[in-house]
Amino acid sequence: MEIFKAVLFCVAAYLLLWNVYILIFNKGVPNIRTAPAIRRRIIDTLKSDMAKKGGAKNGAPRYTIYDMGSGNGLLTREIAKAIPDARVIGVEASRQCIEWSDKVKTAQNIPNLEYRRADFFEHDFGDADAVVVFLSVYEMGRVGEKLMKNLKSGTLVTSNRFPLTGWAVEEKVKVLTLYPFQKYFHIYHHP
């Protein structure tokens, strides 16, 4: 019985500390990564949008993809490697995440990838051709409003798991994953 109480106490303390960490360092958004199968489908969606928009433009500004809240950078790295002609930018509030992402980017030598430490609500996404999003359900209202005001017409937006408030969803893509809470992502184009 004593052991059971001790285990329960440790689990409760861990959950409490984890939530305090998320609240203080991650603006209340858990740093959970997009599931591998969804990452692959998002990359396919980006590739086909880029091809429809004329692919890479020689000399002219390239197809620019933002990850709004890039976390530890795994999704941005996979996108940048899979689409070397695109410019990929991760915007992230957490200093630790940015430092880690920069380190891995340098170690893996990914020239078309960059990170910016910023609150994405303050960041200008006006040059985006595509924005990928995986954020908390509580942020989808503000995020939807911000992107509606800030993006240029025709910009592709994908949102993992939660739909963007105020946007007409073009496609809700069902994906088979091992992650219990990640089964869909949403596709939009700015009107």
Ligand X SMILES: C[S@@+](CC[C@H](N)C(=O)[O-])C[C@H]1O[C@@H](n2cnc3c(N)ncnc32)[C@H](O)[C@@H]1O
Residues forming contacts to ligand X in the complex (CB under 6 A) are: 26-27, 29, 31-34, 67, 69-71, 74-75, 91-94, 97, 119-121, 134-135, 160
Nearer to ligand X, 91 or 130 (CB): 91
Tokens 């500390």 identify what position?
17
Q: Name the phi and psi angles at 113, rounded to 5.
A: -125, 135
Q: Name the phi and psi angles at 187, rounded to 5.
A: -115, 135
Q: Which of 121, 133, 98, 136 is nearest to 22 (CA)?
A: 136
Nearer to ligand X, 73 or 129 (CB): 73
| Nearby residues of 26 by Cβ (< 8 Å), 6 or more positions away | 93, 94
* Apex 73 CA angle, 71 and 74, nearest 5: 115
Q: What minimum distance in Å lies between the beta carbon of 5 and ligand X?
A: 33
Note the Cα 163 to chain centre separation in Å.
13
- H/E run at residue 114: strand 113-117
Q: What minimum distance in Å lies between the beta carbon of 16 and ligand X?
A: 19
Nearer to ligand X, 50 or 131 (CB): 131
Nearer to ligand X, 56 or 102 (CB): 102
Q: Which two tokens stand for residue 84?
A: 């070397």
| Nearby residues of 143 by Cβ (< 8 Å), 6 or more positions away | 68, 133, 135, 164, 165
Nearer to ligand X, 34 or 155 (CB): 34
* Apex 103 CA angle, 99 and 109, nearest 5: 145
Q: What minimum distance in Å lies between the beta carbon of 120 and ligand X?
A: 4
Nearer to ligand X, 10 or 44 (CB): 44
Q: What minimum distance in Å lies between the beta carbon of 168 and ligand X?
A: 22
Nearest-CB residue for ligand X: 69
